[in-house]
């Protein structure tokens, strides 16, 4: 398997569809569209509530949170005793 054939392909005036985001090149527009939709254009699901950081992996977000916002997070979770759970059971006669 020699890749000289691929080089010859590149010399030809062939229409290709490069991805603007990652530089991947596709021979068909449909392939590029699919790539954009399922691979490249996929929005990161997990976003940091404290900064614009976004990621596709939850573990990455956790790492980010622990590394960057450790201090903030501790404040975030330490909530003042503001929520009352006492239900007033006043059975009026």
Q: How many helices (H) and strands (E) does the chain have?
A: 4, 4
Specify whether the CB–CB gap between 44 and 56 falls below 8 A.
Answer: yes
62 is a site residue for Zn ion (CB under 5 A): no
Residue selected from 9, 16, 18, 22 as contacting Zn ion according to rule CB under 5 A: 22
Nearer to Zn ion, 9 or 18 (CB): 18
Q: Is 40 in the site for Zn ion (CB under 5 A)?
A: yes
Closer to Zn ion by CB, 5 or 38: give it: 38
Tell me if 21 contacts Zn ion by CB under 5 A: yes
Residue whose CB is less far from Zn ion, 9 or 25: 25
Residue 54 to residue 5: CA distance in whole angstroms: 41
Backbone angles phi, psi at 55, to 5 degrees: -150, 160
- 53 belongs to the binding site for Zn ion (CB under 5 A): yes
Cα distance between residue 42 and residue 28, in whole Å:
20
Which residues here bind Zn ion, judged by CB under 5 A?
19, 21-22, 24, 40, 48, 50-51, 53
């Amino acid at each position: 398997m020699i890749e000289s054939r691929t080089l010859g392909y590149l010399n030809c005036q062939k229409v290709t569809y490069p991805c603007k985001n990652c530089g991947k090149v596709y021979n068909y527009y449909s392939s590029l569209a699919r790539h954009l939709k399922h691979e490249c254009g996929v929005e990161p699901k997990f976003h940091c509530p404290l900064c614009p950081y976004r990621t596709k992996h939850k573990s990455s977000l956790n790492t980010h949170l622990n590394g960057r916002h450790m201090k903030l997070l501790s404040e975030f979770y330490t909530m003042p005793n503001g929520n009352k759970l006492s239900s007033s059971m006043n059975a009026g006669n």
